Amino acid sequence: MADGNSVNWVYSFGAKGSDGDGAMRNLLGGKGANLAEMASLGLPVPPGFTITTEVCTLFYDNERKFPDGLEASVDAAMAKIEAQVDKKFGDVSNPLLVSVRSGGRASMPGMMDTVLNLGLNDETVIGLAKLSGDERFAYDSYRRFIQMYSDVVLGVDHHHFEEILDLYKEQKDYLLDTDLSAQDWLAVIDQYKKIVEKSLGKPFPQNVKDQLWGAITAVFASWRNERANTYRRLHHIPESWGTAVNVQAMVFGNMGDSSATGVAFTRDPSTGEKIWYGEFLINAQGEDVVAGIRTPQALTKKHRETMGETLPSLEEVMPESYAQLVAIFEKLEKHYRDMQDIEFTIQQGKLWMLQTRNGKRTAKAALKIAVDMCAEKLISEEEAVMRVDPASLDQLLHPSLDPDAPRDLLTRGLPASPGAASGEIVFNSDEAERLAKDGHKVILVRVETSPEDIHGMHAAEGIITARGGMTSHAAVVARGMGRPCVCGAGDVSIEKDGSAMSVGGRRLAKGEIITIDGAKGEIFAGAVKTIEPELSGDFSKIMQWADKKRRMKVRANAETPLDAKTARGFGAEGIGLCRTEHMFFDADRILAVREMILSEDKNGRKAALAKLLPMQRGDFVELFKVMSGLPVTVRLLDPPLHEFLPHTDEEIEAVAEASGMDGKALKARAHALQETNPMLGHRGCRLGISYPEIYEMQVRAIMEAACIVAEETGENVVPEIMIPLVAKRKELEILKIKIDAVCQQVMAERGLQVEYLVGTMIELPRAALTADDLAQRAEFFSFGTNDLTQTTFGLSRDDAGSFLPDYQRAGIFEKDPFVTMDIKGVGALVEIAAEKGRAVRPDIKLGICGEHGGDPASIDFVEGVGLDYVSCSPYRVPIARLAAAQAVLKKG
């Protein structure tokens, strides 16, 4: 503590030592903590101080007023700066200038306000001119300050200033800012001050202390500006964290040609390669680099040469500063043990460090840096595993557009499922399947999709829908299949006869080629070159290390042999959810399924089920073979029957023909099956209770397949038969008796013993609350957190779209509960169920198979609950593997 106050609101840093350090990120923000840390390391940091994030909280709690005593602390800290740089704030002959910057716990680049060159006024500017020996620099700095301060603190629109400057340049026939002399700037400054006075009714503040408090207030206030609020919502940063404010002595990169300013990374942030990577500008301030008016120069000679640039590199033009910088790079990497993102300024040949932080990087770079740093003994394997954001792997697992390929953007929609694909436009699922069978690559374009489109989505390279959000049917299914998908592309309008679509005034006929980028939600005309994912050595090394640490198994949600193969390729250790109903939608089966549903009696259903039995058995045989001995959890029929119903007269006719039933009666039955709230209706095990013959057929198919595969391959198939939507033990009891009977019968028929388990989904609050009851019959639980979220919130995923935007705007849902598990509600039920289940059956197998099974934050939570496995869509298996390992490591 610098000044012995019981509460310390101001932390100084500089060559004389720092009050804070790098560990105090929560209090000082990232920037402030790292400035203190660098200063302590002996690096050249301009002296300054940080006003803590606590002050931000007090500021907002107290009607935007600062706490008593803050002013005195700031005065004292300013005095320390003055002492170190031997200048005085507001002094006419030897003025101290400072920068005032925000700096929160998490980086929010560009979202909050900054003021540079503060301390200039009509008098100190003269002192600065004399002191620097550069009148033009001084006036240039002053006009920059007036413009920035007026914009940020006083709320005078910056367009006014740009207009004045443009007009001035026009009058003088100047092209560049550098064409303006000191006298020119003086003239401009005069106009600037006039516009400020005109706008505000009072002159631009000349008192430097007023300037300082104005800037501090403005930066704190910018924590809650529109941009910052939006950014925080998108990046899940709590408002309560607040920002710190850093006040620091100015150093100038724009004091002539021995001055420069730049940014650098200690490794290449896009590839991870261990090279110094950065850019700088001579005679410029930081904002010029960001503004992109002048072309920045490369840091190293090698980089300059690779890029074919002619402007000299820093290595060449300022070799001493460069050497000093490189030494600092090495020191910082060793100190922080991570790749650093650095800002520096060279003032008349002297290097100053303005910022360092762990650098953002692509997924590919993250993998390489982690693996390399481990090889360099900078970090351990565990740390390497922790360094890669599991969610970022998504980028790597799908094809992507070649960044250099030319493209013709048609429109944008929602980035519903990552990956890129090109193909012929097709507007219906049957056609998509037919064309795909003939070897065509197709993109399926629909207004929206329904379960009947599954085969078409599977056949397609990618999917576009005109309607629907990130959790629409198309989005969920496409992510599950790993198909790129753009949803809710409202611009796309399909012509009624299905021959073409129009997008933003252009017409594209069926069969024309388009390309989609599902990661960005973009749709392009024609083919755009794509790059296949490269699961490099770094990827597999990190995965290996992760697997060593991981406790939970990772399974995949998959029904088709293709999906199962993909999943195994990604390292899945079994199937956690095989949704048998997905097998019902194939064109050659839907007829029998409809016949079954629409039968008015048991015999009719049994006849139809007899047709389905060999098909389902065949599916399971294939699936069990692919999984060769790994566990496979098969969920018995779950969705409401009417999802399978025929809608058009032709479809009804087809069923009538196949079943010999009356078309009118069929229609009536289809109508009778409609439900007000199908989600809460006749589905799941309720179907099994009402129509036991359906589950009997399915169980028979599973067990016959298990016997066949066991005989053919000699491998041990252990099917896990899962009963959906159980609310009461009695449901489980009744169905388990029937299931066991069929299993015994099949094994007797085949003369073979096959191990199998019978368990239940936990997807209703009641199931979770009475899990002790259920565990008396269930050999395993699988948490179906999609439905559990719907029932716990009383919120239908299909219908939430209409008000979810309102909810996100209002900050009610910081995260989409269908993506990341709601720990307080749904998570509490998962914990209760796990605890109660284990109390009755200590070795009960516990897993999760909702969408949350592939979400890192949710995986972290269920590791804490001690589940045995997570199950997710095949393309998320690597993400889950890494997240599961990190969850173990985080527990310590």
* Residues with active-site annotation: 473, 849
In whole angstroms, what is the distance from residue 723 CA to residue 637 CA?
Answer: 8
Q: Whose Cβ is closer to a copy of itself: residue 67's or residue 681's? A: 681
Neighbour tally for 664: CB within 10 Å:
10
- Between CA 252 and CA 256, with CA 253 as vertex, the angle to 5 degrees is 100
Q: Whose Cβ is closer to a copy of itself: residue 667's or residue 682's? A: 682
Q: Whose Cβ is closer to a copy of itself: residue 712's or residue 799's? A: 799
What's the token pair of residue 830?
A: 């998962």
- The residue ranges that bind a copy of itself (CB under 8 A) are 675-682, 686, 689-690, 725, 727-728, 730-731, 734, 763-766, 769-770, 773, 787, 790-796, 798-800, 802-803, 806-807, 810-813, 822, 824-826, 828-829
Give me the least distance between CB of 495 and a copy of itself, in Å please: 19
Give me the least distance between CB of 829 and a copy of itself, in Å please: 7
What's the token pair of residue 569?
A: 């390729």
- Give the strand pairing for 869-872 and 88-89: unpaired
Measured CA to CA in angstroms, residue 358 lies from 269, 338, 387, 532, 597 at distances of 11, 6, 11, 29, 59
Q: Whose Cβ is closer to a copy of itself: residue 565's or residue 667's? A: 667
Q: Whose Cβ is closer to a copy of itself: residue 764's or residue 887's? A: 764
Q: Whose Cβ is closer to a copy of itself: residue 494's or residue 804's? A: 804
Cβ atoms 33, 21 nearer than 8 A? yes
Give me the least distance between CB of 464 and a copy of itself, in Å please: 21
Residue 842: which H helix or E strand, with range?
none
Residue 95: which H helix or E strand, with range?
strand 95-96
Give me the least distance between CB of 698 and a copy of itself, in Å please: 18
- The phi, psi pair for 100, rounded to 5°, reads -125, 115
Q: Which residues pair with 854 in a beta bridge?
A: none
Map tokens 């979400």 to a residue.
855
Give me the least distance between CB of 825 and a copy of itself, in Å please: 4
Give me the least distance between CB of 651 and a copy of itself, in Å please: 21
HEC profile for 610-652?
Answer: HHHHHHHHHHHHHHHHHHCCCCEEEECCCCCHHHHCCCCHHHH
Q: Whose Cβ is closer to a copy of itself: residue 140's or residue 822's? A: 822
Could you tell me which of 208, 214, 220 has the C-alpha nearest to residue 81?
208
Residues 6+ apart with CB under 8 A from 740: 758
Q: Is 212 exposed, middle or buried (0-12, 13-18, 19+ CB in 10 A)?
A: buried
What's the token pair of residue 333?
A: 């990497």
Neighbour tally for 147: CB within 10 Å:
22
Alpha helix ranges (H) inside 716-759: 729-750
- The phi, psi pair for 729, rounded to 5°, reads -60, -35
Give me the least distance between CB of 736 and a copy of itself, in Å please: 13
Beta strands in 473-573 (DSSP E): 485-487, 492-494, 500-503, 506-509, 513-517, 522-525, 530-531, 553-557
Q: Whose Cβ is closer to a copy of itself: residue 287's or residue 643's? A: 643
What's the token pair of residue 841?
A: 């059956």
Give me the least distance between CB of 239 and a copy of itself, in Å please: 12
Q: b vs e for 745-756, b when ≥16 Cβ sit within 10 Å of the residue's Cβ?
A: ebbeebeeebeb
Give me the least distance between CB of 834 and a copy of itself, in Å please: 15
CA 37 vs. chain centroid, Å, equals 30
Q: Whose Cβ is closer to a copy of itself: residue 792's or residue 873's? A: 792
Residues 6+ apart with CB under 8 A from 633: 555, 574, 575, 576, 577, 578, 720, 722, 759, 780, 782, 847, 849, 871
Give me the least distance between CB of 763 and a copy of itself, in Å please: 7
Q: Whose Cβ is closer to a copy of itself: residue 760's or residue 790's? A: 790
